[in-house]
Amino acid sequence: MQIEKNKIEEHNQSLLKDHQRKFEFISSQISDVENILKKLSDFQIAIPSWALGSGGTRFGRFSIGGEPRNLEEKIEDIGLLHALNKSSGAISLHIPWDIPENVSHIKSLAAHHGIRFDAMNSNTFQDQPGQKYSYKFGSLQNVNPAIRKQAIDHNIDVIKYGVSLGSKSLTVWLSDGSCFPGQLNFRKAFQNTLEGLKEIYAALPADWKIFVEYKAYEPNFYSTTVGDWGQSFLYASKLGEKAFTLVDLGHHLPNANIEQIVSLLLMEKKLGGFHFNDSKYGDDDLTVGSIKPYQLFLIFNELVEGMDARGMNHATDLGWMIDASHNVKDPLEDLLQSVEAIKISYAQSLLIDRKKLNEAQNNNDVAAAQEILQNAFRTDVRPLVREARLRSNGALDPIAIYRNEKVREYLIEQRGIKTIATGL
Ligand SMILES: [Mn+2]
């Protein structure tokens, strides 16, 4: 489904007066509004193909209806999100679910919606129908070389699909690990995994990156073979300059200082990208910014400071992606909320007075440093985010127009109530 341009214009017109009043107010307080608006417009967040349908837990799954049934419909859904927020101009595919049957058709459909192909994701955390060997006891870490080879070959296939579509990166997340003490020789598991990653790395085209994602626990509950940023950093360092660590916000032990991890990885040129989500207890995969918005802001503070220190392009030099699951919300509304939360935190971090913060730090003026950060965090930057969207011909209030146009009802009518998005 597409929402016609004139519908978006009509919607914007109805909210314009109120928006302009708020935008003028915040503009009068900021010196470089145009620069901030430009950065906000450029900043795109990739949507993963698996986040477009209802997620679930091991206890059950409740379908929302109208979920995308194939890759074409997934691209159409992201095209709709992008038309509304002008910030979701990329899709991240998961193989084997998103194998393109007709590459040129898929490419032209994505181009039509202004969508590019972000990182490709491999899957060796479950067995597929017809697969020769099982990943029950791990993939790249497995004690059986034939199983390791199967996992390596799968990742190389994923790179090939990505090349055909114009993607430039591969994300490897391994569920490998152990559930009980004694099950695994940690050193051998690490070495097997490293050897496998080396073979995958060797298959990367020159202009590609590989992201090694880590996770503290689950589905394995005693050890994880890429368990934290230190282990991911170790793999990425040993692999070479095309290998980076990927930070998924939900993959840490409770209360980990993620912003500090981000800062040091950036300094070492080993931060590759992000999977945004939010959580209260574990890998909850909740809507970005719904539980800990201050943490998200502090992460963006380090990102902006660290990228500027290295002269990086905020929009293009790191991979930005949502990785979440929606059990009780309309997934498309949830994604609109997630993208909005990311843009708000980014905008707030652009407001931080770096010169003053630097002075406060050099003077050990702790209270002033906190004031500077919290002044930015407590600023209502939504008019800035809306203005950037308006100038890109997006909608002032994406969720409102999504509801007014009865998008979900239309999708259910078109696709049926009992659809299940592939890959979930
Ligand atoms: Mn992730």
**How many angstroms does the Cα of residue 320 sit away from the middle of ligand 1?**
11
**Mean pLDDT within 139-153:** 98
What confidence score (pLDDT) does residue 326 get? 86
∠ Cα 232 279 81 (to 5°): 95
**Mean pLDDT within 246-259:** 98
**How many angstroms does the Cα of residue 270 sit away from the middle of ligand 1?**
17
Sequence-ordered strand ranges (E) for 30-77? 47-48
pLDDT in tens, 354-402: 999 999 999 999 999 999 999 999 999 999 999 999 999 999 999 999 9
Domain residue extents for the chain = 44-341
Q: Is residue 245's pLDDT more than 90?
A: yes
pLDDT in tens, 179-226: 999 999 999 999 999 999 999 999 999 999 999 999 999 999 999 999
What confidence score (pLDDT) does residue 192 get? 98
Q: Is residue 168's pLDDT more than 60?
A: yes
Neighbours of ion ligand 1 (CB under 5 A): 248, 275, 323
**How many angstroms does the Cα of residue 410 sit away from the middle of ligand 1?**
30
CA 87 to CA 42: how far, in whole Å? 8
What confidence score (pLDDT) does residue 37 get? 98
Q: Is residue 26's pLDDT more than 60?
A: yes
**How many angstroms does the Cα of residue 322 sit away from the middle of ligand 1?**
8
What confidence score (pLDDT) does residue 418 get? 82
**How many angstroms does the Cα of residue 2 sit away from the middle of ligand 1?**
29
pLDDT: is 31 or 199 the higher one?
199
**How many angstroms does the Cα of residue 70 sit away from the middle of ligand 1?**
21
Determine the 3-state secondary structure of 233 from DSSP: helix
Strand 223-224 relative to strand 177-178: parallel, antiparallel, unpaired?
antiparallel
CA 255 to CA 123: how far, in whole Å? 28
What confidence score (pLDDT) does residue 422 get? 66
Q: Is residue 330's pLDDT more than 70?
A: yes
Q: What are phi and psi of 198, to 5 degrees?
A: -60, -40
**Mean pLDDT within 246-251:** 98
**How many angstroms does the Cα of residue 247 sit away from the middle of ligand 1?**
8
**How many angstroms does the Cα of residue 318 sit away from the middle of ligand 1?**
15
Does CATH number 1.10.1030.10 belong to domain 44-341?
A: no
Token pair listed for 13:
């017109």
**How many angstroms does the Cα of residue 283 sit away from the middle of ligand 1?**
9
**How many angstroms does the Cα of residue 321 sit away from the middle of ligand 1?**
9
How high does pLDDT run on average in the chain? Answer: 97
**How many angstroms does the Cα of residue 213 sit away from the middle of ligand 1?**
7
Q: Is residue 423's pLDDT more than 70?
A: no
**How many angstroms does the Cα of residue 231 sit away from the middle of ligand 1?**
16
- Is 192:231 a contact under the CB 8 Å cutoff? no
End-to-end CA distance of the chain: 22
Q: Is the peptide bond between 219 and the residue preceding it cis, with omega within 30 degrees of 0?
A: yes
Residues of the chain with pLDDT > 70: what percent? 99
Q: Is residue 40's pLDDT more than 70?
A: yes
Nearest to 345, CA basis, from 262, 269, 243, 230? 262
- Is 338:289 a contact under the CB 8 Å cutoff? yes
pLDDT in tens, 281-311: 999 999 999 999 999 999 999 999 999 999 9
Q: Is residue 424's pLDDT more than 70?
A: no
- Is 327:62 a contact under the CB 8 Å cutoff? yes
pLDDT in tens, 82-119: 999 999 999 999 999 999 999 999 999 999 999 999 99
Determine the 3-state secondary structure of 246 from DSSP: strand
CA 339 to CA 329: how far, in whole Å? 15
